[in-house]
Amino acid sequence: MADQIGRMGVRRWALWQLSNRARIGYVLAVDILAVTGVVFALSLIPVPSADLLPFVLLISCALVYPELSRPIERSRISRPFIDLNAVWMFAAILLLHPALSAVVIAVSYFAQWVRVRPDRLYRKAFFASATIVAGYAASAGYAVLSHGKFDDAPRDIVSFSLVVGAGLVFLIFKWALCYFCHATATPGDYALEASTIALGIVVGWALVDWPFVLLLIIGITLVMHRSVQFRDQARTDPKTGLLNSASWSNDAEAHLKRGEKAALLMLDLDNFKSINDRYGHLVGDKHLKGVAEVLRAEVRGTDILGRFGGEEFVILLPATSQQDAMAVAERIRRRVERFAVEDAVTVSVGVAAHPDHGTSLEEVMNAADLALLAAKAAGRNRTLLFAAP
């Protein structure tokens, strides 16, 4: 916990390490927009006293639910823009003053960061801010069209349509703001978050008419969470929690078929067999898990990360130039070099680019593999970019 809080110093944020300055500016702009919205909402709209009870209940759900779902969420593939906690967030957007709904959203993301997945803080802050801004859009749209508050709306087809429309506005704005994070999402992921918004509507109505229904919805959400875990387990490598070879290949190939620029890193742990021989396979597995955590910490939400087999890992970096890919690979190599369980471990990295070094996944992987072999031959613990003979 102390280590996590230590990451909160602004000067120490990993955000400043991003090579793309436009991305840094975009992240900060969304953060500032969310905070500015809170300030304007507080100055223009009084906070109704009737909002306090649902605010306390939704804050409680935002704090308690991450604890209940913690064992499930930790084994799930991280997709921070697909959030099952949107159940409580969207209910807050419907029911509460915009500033109070922003607090519920921020608390939910912070609780997940502290208790479930202590990822880089600027990422959680960005996704929380994007969700808050999307909530402003949904709340404003509903208020303009309904000419009233959700609490007072009649329970008829017109009101139902307006609420569903607000949910669609929320999802569209959130996905648009998080566009650069959608590379690894599937239609099933979007359908899953849409279902959580539908449950959020039910939570909102329950808090107005019959609050005890909230207990049933918590149970339903946990069951949904569990089903997502089972789906992800079929796609992941059991030792590292990364995508397995088949799932990674499917996701990476689907991305390259779009024809967009991308880079591919192929990584191999140096002399890993000697670690297994000296300390045993259990220690070797700890090294694999530790390196997987290092890789997770160093890539973006857009990047497609997998274990390709044995001690080999692969990463597809969408919308990344050769120069930026080499910078990412070097950062990973240096970070792995500092990691150790019983012994230090190093990694060699081969880098290739699409479409410069191949137009298909097989061609780009072959180029990265040749670069990796060259890095091994040159002495290991180094990064090389593919050079055509």
Q: Is residue 348 within 8 Å of 311, Cβ to Cβ? A: no
Say what the pTM is: 0.64
Statement to judge: residues 94 and 190 lie in one domain: yes
Statement to judge: residues 186 and 284 lie in one domain: no
Q: Has residue 123 been placed in a domain?
A: yes
Confidence (pLDDT) at 13: 56
Statement to judge: residues 216 and 166 lie in one domain: yes
Statement to judge: residues 231 and 249 lie in one domain: no
Q: Which residues of 239-257 are buried (b: 16+ CB within 10 A; e: fewer)?
A: ebbbbbeebbbebbeebbe
When pLDDT is averaged across residues 109-131 and rounded to a whole number, the result is 81
Residues 6 or more apart in contact with residue 166 via CB below 8 angstroms: 93, 94, 138, 139, 141, 142
Statement to judge: residues 217 and 267 lie in one domain: no
When pLDDT is averaged across residues 364-378 and rounded to a whole number, the result is 93
Which residue range forms the structural domain that includes residue 39? 2-235
Band of the pLDDT at 2, cuts 50, 70, 90?
A: very low
Confidence (pLDDT) at 375: 92
Catalytic residue positions, numbered: 311
When pLDDT is averaged across residues 191-202 and rounded to a whole number, the result is 83
- Give the end of a domain, one of 235, 265, 284: 235
78 has pLDDT over 60: no
State how many domains the chain has: 2
Statement to judge: residues 179 and 36 lie in one domain: yes
Confidence (pLDDT) at 71: 60
Q: Is residue 243 within 8 Å of 307, Cβ to Cβ? A: yes
When pLDDT is averaged across residues 326-333 and rounded to a whole number, the result is 91
Residue written as token pair 């274990």: 307
Confidence (pLDDT) at 183: 45
When pLDDT is averaged across residues 271-296 and rounded to a whole number, the result is 82
Of 191, 215, 331, residue with least CA distance to 351: 331
- Return the minimum-mean-pLDDT range out of 16-20, 76-80, 175-179, 215-219: 76-80
Statement to judge: residues 251 and 229 lie in one domain: no
Whichever domain contains 278, its CATH number is 3.30.70.270
When pLDDT is averaged across residues 159-185 and rounded to a whole number, the result is 80
Report which residue type is found at 362.
Answer: E
Of 177, 174, 204, 267, residue with least CA distance to 55: 204
Higher pLDDT residue, 102 or 295? 102
Q: Has residue 89 been placed in a domain?
A: yes
Band of the pLDDT at 340, cuts 50, 70, 90?
A: low
Statement to judge: residues 53 and 109 lie in one domain: yes
Q: Has residue 272 been placed in a domain?
A: yes
- Give the end of a domain, one of 177, 210, 235: 235
Of 121, 131, 153, residue with least CA distance to 62: 131
Band of the pLDDT at 4, cuts 50, 70, 90?
A: very low
Beta strands in the chain (DSSP E): 262-269, 304-309, 312-318, 347-354, 383-385
- Give the end of a domain, one of 194, 212, 235: 235
CA distance 335 to 332: 5
Residues 6 or more apart in contact with residue 68 via CB below 8 angstroms: 218, 222
Find the Cα–Cα–Cα–Cα dihedral 136, 140, 143, 146, rounded to 10°.
-120
Average pLDDT across the chain, whole number? 82
Q: Has residue 240 been placed in a domain?
A: no
Q: Has residue 168 been placed in a domain?
A: yes
Statement to judge: residues 325 and 217 lie in one domain: no
pLDDT in tens, 180-194: 554 455 566 677 788
Statement to judge: residues 154 and 110 lie in one domain: yes
7 has pLDDT over 50: no
Helical segments of 210-321, H only: 213-235, 245-256, 272-279, 281-298
Query: Using the 8-state DSSP alphabet, how is residue 76 labeled?
Result: S
pLDDT in tens, 65-74: 777 766 656 5
Statement to judge: residues 308 and 353 lie in one domain: yes
Statement to judge: residues 325 and 211 lie in one domain: no
- Return the minimum-mean-pLDDT range out of 16-20, 83-87, 302-306: 16-20
Provide, rounded to the nearest whole percent, the portion of the chain with pLDDT above 90: 29
CA distance 79 to 205: 28
When pLDDT is averaged across residues 92-110 and rounded to a whole number, the result is 93
Residue 28 vs residues 7, 116, 237: alpha-carbon distances, Å: 17, 24, 35
Transcribe 122-139 into DSSP letters: HHHHHHHHHHHHHHHHHH
Confidence (pLDDT) at 166: 93
Residue 202 vs residues 48, 97, 212, 253, 355: alpha-carbon distances, Å: 22, 18, 12, 39, 47
CA distance 285 to 220: 35
Higher pLDDT residue, 333 or 112? 333
